[in-house]
Structure 1
Amino acid sequence: MFFKTKNLVTTTIALGAFVSVLSFAAVSQEQAAPANSESSEIEEIEKALAPYVMPESGPFRPDQIEIANKAAIAAWARSAHADARSESFSHWNEDGAIPPNCATCHSGEGFRAFHGLDGSAPGLPEPPIPTGGVVDCETCHNPGLSAIKEVKLPSGLSHPVAPGEASCITCHQGRAAGVTVATAVGEKDEDTPDKELRFINPHYAVAASMWLGGYAASGYHYPGKEYSGRFFHARPVSTCVSCHEPHTLEVSEQTCMTCHENAALDDIRLSRVSFDGSGDVKKGIRADIAANADRLKGLMTAYAAEVAGAPMIYDGHRYPYFFADMNGDGRIDEVDGRAVGYNAWTPRLLKATYNWKFVTADPGAFAHNPHYALELLYDSIEDLAGALGQDMTAWNLQR
């Protein structure tokens, strides 16, 4: 109703008066207003309604409603967080609902339910969570975020957070950790394929876990090795929004230029050490990480065929990403038209593959924590190279 009323009779009278006024205004305008009158029909109606006190619910003139933060909203609308058509938010459309463990990060409604920001008890949201949601404004601007003091990571670590970090770290931590891999392989023989083993996916966009490094232990840590902890970069560059514009998500290269003479992201280098053995220290550190990741992937493929005895093919566009190629023809095996997932995992192969996927799942690893990324790659390369009988020293890699 347009009017604040106490009962049905009052409502009926008020509504009748409202209709009469509108009719009177329309007739008056048609009969009395000259053709060249500057008054519009809406203005005449506004004058006719002037004696009435309207509630805050309307009616409204859309052109008179001020939109606060319109620039921020427009920036957000262009970002990946708002893209309802992307796989991140449309994957479950055909199912009609999002599984609770996925809804936490793939729906604003699920996120608020997980942290109890909707008035419910914190924890996995109660199904069903409807599709169509995105990372909306309230995911990051809900006043209740100030009450979240820590976020639990896949390794079991509870990391203290400020209100501005809670959203980022909740959803960019991945869904597995080194302990997940260690638990899966247990005391199994390192080089014996085991049908019970399956690929463990760290998920994707694991920027927060990469940033926290060895402290969060989201990568698989080889026994006897030490790993770099949280990457503090250069303070005050200490949080996600220190570098990322919070609405567009774009990296502000102006921030990089504060310390880096050449702020082109691909050219930034933090060390004069050639980690990939090329001897080229003029290229960016991103290139070293990519080169070592490619080397590790090659070793994974060689190990699968030569040690595990079952060739493997990677396809990053469909889960579970790693597939069988038993006849070695370079094509994924199929049964009844369906791709056959790789099923000859050994503990050694699973550990290295997990680390490869963890590092490559964060395209910003070179900025979030290059040291940790390089350490995980180096140790995984070293482990597979030993099993393949290859002399790693010839590659001049540096940890």
Structure 2
Amino acid sequence: MVFRVFWKVSLCLGLALGASLSISASAQNAPTNEEILEAWLSSPHADSTREAFRHWDTEGEIPGTCAVCHSSTGVSDYLAAPQTMPGLIDHPVPIGTTVECSACHNDGAKDLSEVLFPNGTTVSTPNSSAICSVCHQGRSSSGQVEASVADMDEDIVSAEIKFINIHYAAAASTQLGNTARGGYQYEGRSYVGPFAHVETLGTCVSCHNPHDTRVKLESCTTCHQGAADFRAIRTTPLDILGDGNTTAGIGVVISQLHDQLNAAIMTYSQEIGGGAIVYSGAAYPYFFNDLNADGIADPTETVFPNAYKSWTPRLLKAAYNYQFVSKDKGAFAHNAHYVIQLMIDSIESLSEVATVDATGFTRP
């Protein structure tokens, strides 16, 4: 299969910039078309070799369930019609495109100010963030997890339970917190809403370059002076882990808490669930039977026929939250308190019936 050659993209740049989103500085400081093209070519959106754009090569078309976020044709079609389903269209589209100029520079994107999320909520979104939120929202929500295990005993294995995947890079759902309810939210617990950064960093493109998607550390160090990397930035004085350390970067704290949740999931699966479980972020469907119970995702284990199927409702909820955090690598910046709440609540839930230590946490 042959992807569009890049000189055609260069041509569309000149046409699209006249109707561009409000994402650049004044005209005299705006990047040239050549600079924009070079930036885009270095981005994941332009990499036609990625699985995200090659998965349907054999079929010859991309189904409407995937086309909106995996092709320029799909997202253009989605934006040209009323949003009735989040990120879905009712027809397949041809293979052969990536996320090109036309995906974000079209009349539908220009006028987009509200975005429908998987939990059924339509959110008013700044113009320069709306088009990003169409795809970077995930494909599921708390309500879908709850509905899938309704009226089931929390700790009884059921063959009817299937793992629910948030999908990739659900940054917009993370940022919106309780508004989008992208993580599984436990009954009786409160969750933070949208994370409001400083006024000058209030949209996707105020942090991310819109064409190469990168974030420059200097955009953060004006306030977070001395930070050597993003994960080193601390956004709360609370001792989240109860270890006396209140200076470690919030990204480090989230990573450590994520590891604790993984350990809790493995303990519960062996003590209460249907057998040892292991996670691999690089292999679908992500959770597998840990055949030798060593806690390591071996290549022989991370194959589809060995997918973990011994789910209980309690285990599914915790595993869903583990995956939610796994798939948003920038969660520490998008809404740190929200993902910390999700993980602490998941660990505490597992500790109710398994040998899991949930003491010492300070929940934001």
**What TM-score, normalized by structure 2, do the two folds share?**
0.85
Partner of 2:179: 215
Query: Which amino acid letter does the alignment assign opposite residue 154 of structure 2?
Result: E
RMSD: 2.3
Matched, 1:387 2:325: no
Which amino acid is 1:102 matched to? C
Does residue 306 (structure 1) correspond to residue 271 (structure 2)? The answer is yes
Aligned to 2:146: 182
**Distance verdict in 2 for CA 1:345–1:121, change over 3 Å:** closer
Say which of 62, 65, 87 aligns to 1:101. 65
Could you say which residue in structure 1 is the equivalent of 2:255? 290
Alpha-carbon shift at residue 161 of structure 1 (Å): 2.3
1:389 deviates by 4.2
Shift of residue 390, structure 1, vs aligned partner: 3.8
User: After the TM superposition, which parts of structure 1 deviate over 3 Å for at least 4 consecutive aligned residues?
Assistant: 120-128, 325-335
Q: Write the distance in 2 (CA, Å) between the matches of 1:171 and 1:236.
A: 23
Q: Which residue of 2 aligns with 1:195?
A: 159
Q: Deviations over 1:285-311 (max 9, x none)?
A: 101000000000011011111101311
SS of equivalent to 1:339: helix
Check 1:137–1:95 CA distance in 2 against 1; reply closer, same or farther (3 A cut).
Answer: same
Whole-angstrom distance in 2 between the partners of 1:72 and 1:303 = 50
Amino acid at match of 1:270: T
Deviations 1:197-249 (A, max 9, x none): 01000011011100111111111111110001000011121100111111111
Corresponding position of 1:167: 131
- The answer to whether the 8 Å contact 2:284/2:304 transfers is no
- After TM superposition, the structure 1 = structure 2 runs for residues 89-128 of structure 1, keeping only pairs within 5 Å, are 89-116=53-80, 124-128=88-92
Match of 1:355 in 2: 321
Aligned length: 329
TM-score (norm 1): 0.77
The 1:233–1:215 alpha-carbon spacing in structure 2 relative to 1, beyond 3 Å, is same
User: Is the radius of gyration larger for structure 1 or structure 2?
Assistant: 1
Contact in 2 for aligned 1:222/1:379 (Cα 8 Å): yes
Residue pair 1:215, 1:229 contacting (<8 A) in 2 also: yes
**Alignment CA distance shift 1:325-1:389 (3 Å):** closer
Cα deviation per residue 1:140-199 (whole Å; 9 max; x = unaligned)? 111332333311101111011233222100000000000010000101000000000010
Say if 1:179 and 1:122 are closer, same or farther in 2 by CA, change over 3 A.
closer
* 1:323 partner SS: strand
Instruction: Tell me, yes or no, if structure 1 residue 265 matches structure 2 residue 230.
Output: yes
Whether the aligned pair in 2 keeps the contact of 1:191 and 1:307 (CA below 8 Å) is yes
- Cα 1:333–1:82 change in 2 (3 A) is closer
Structure 2 residue runs of 5 or longer lacking an equivalent are 1-12, 15-31
For 1:127 and 1:392, how far apart are their aligned partners in 2? 47
Q: Which residue number corresponds to residue 102 of structure 2?
A: 138
% identical equivalent positions? 41
Q: Distance in 1 between matches of 2:173 and 2:292?
A: 38
Q: Which residue of 2 is the match for residue 154 of structure 1?
A: 118
Which one-letter code corresponds to 1:78 in the other structure? S
| More contact order relative to length (CA 8 Å, sep ≥ 6) | 2
